[in-house]
Chains A and B, each alone.
Chain A
Amino acid sequence: EVHLVESGGALGQPGGSLRLSCAASGFTFSTTEMNWVRQTPEKGLEWIAYINSGGGNIHYAASVKGRFTISRDNAKNSLFLQMNSLRAEDTAIYYCASGTNYFEDWGQGTRVAVSS
């Protein structure tokens, strides 16, 4: 059974940084494309970052490009999201999700709040 477990969500300060992690199990992580998707009541679901299986092909949504960095460690079956220069509008539930172009499996999400 596929399991994706996010962690690292917290209260962050504007301009500050947070690092999210996603632990994967139940499938061959090293051959699976991965994404981060966030959700807010106001904007709904928003895809923010993609990384291919080897980590050499990465794409970002315009809203986070230059501030967030997606990465992975296939040896540890883990996905990461480094979030810098945080803004209030980054407040959301962050999900890791597997797949390319559509998202087959999702984690339970981790909450990020950005406030002073």
Chain B
Amino acid sequence: SYELSQPPSLSVLPGQTASLTCSGDKLGEKFVCWYQQRPGQSPVLVIYQDQKRPSGTPGRFSGSNSGDTATLTISETQALDEGVYYCQTWDSATDVVFGGGTKLTVL
């Protein structure tokens, strides 16, 4: 079965850029989306189709996907960006697959 790997944690200082990675075999050939989940809340879609932002996602959030790695980049990170970020992909063979999540801490 297809697997997505994410580092379990990442810490950044306020105002710095956070780069969250998601790895999978030939992931660049699939579409990737990202969800933010704050403590006690449901996941929220922040990036879809690799780099598109839903209305409501701040422009500080951007995405890319190439080779075996997709990246969610958060510029000028703020305290409210803390949470767990999950990547997700899909295709006809694997259906929907989620990564294990990266807990982002803003120090």
Q: Give A contacts to B, CB under 8 Å.
A: 35, 44-47, 50, 59, 61, 95, 101-109
B95 touches A102 (CB 8 A): no
A101 touches B31 (CB 8 A): yes
Please, how many angstroms separate the alpha-carbon atoms of A104 and B48 in the complex? Answer: 9
Closest chain B residue, CB of each to CB of A103? B45
Please, how many angstroms separate the alpha-carbon atoms of A109 and B44 in the complex? Answer: 13
Chain A contacts for B31, CB-based, 8 A: 101-102
A61 touches B95 (CB 8 A): yes
| Residue contacts A-B, CB under 8 angstroms, 19 given | A44-B98, A45-B86, A45-B101, A46-B98, A47-B97, A47-B98, A50-B96, A59-B95, A95-B43, A101-B31, A101-B90, A101-B96, A102-B31, A102-B88, A103-B43, A104-B48, A105-B45, A106-B42, A106-B44
B100 touches A44 (CB 8 A): yes
The 5 residue pairs across chains A and B that have the minimum distance between CB atoms:
A47-B96, A102-B33, A45-B98, A106-B42, A101-B90
Q: Give B contacts to A, CB under 8 Å.
A: 31, 33, 35, 42-45, 48-49, 54, 86, 88, 90, 95-101
Looking at A45, A103, A106, the one whose CB has the most chain B CB atoms below 10 A away is A45
Q: What DSSP secondary structure best describes chain A's contact surface?
A: strand
Give the total number of A-B pairs whose CB atoms are below 8 A apart: 46
B43 touches A104 (CB 8 A): no
New A-B contacts (19) at CB < 8 Å, excluding given A47-B95, A106-B42 = A35-B96, A44-B86, A44-B98, A44-B99, A45-B43, A45-B88, A47-B96, A95-B42, A101-B96, A102-B31, A102-B33, A102-B45, A103-B43, A103-B45, A104-B45, A104-B48, A104-B54, A106-B44, A107-B42
Chain B contacts for A105, CB-based, 8 A: 45
Chain A contacts for B49, CB-based, 8 A: 102
Chain A contacts for B98, CB-based, 8 A: 44-47
Closest chain B residue, CB of each to CB of A45? B98
A26 to chain B, nearest CB (A): 14
Please, how many angstroms separate the alpha-carbon atoms of A96 and B96 in the complex? Answer: 15
B79 to chain A, nearest CB (A): 23
Please, how many angstroms separate the alpha-carbon atoms of A35 and B95 in the complex? Answer: 12
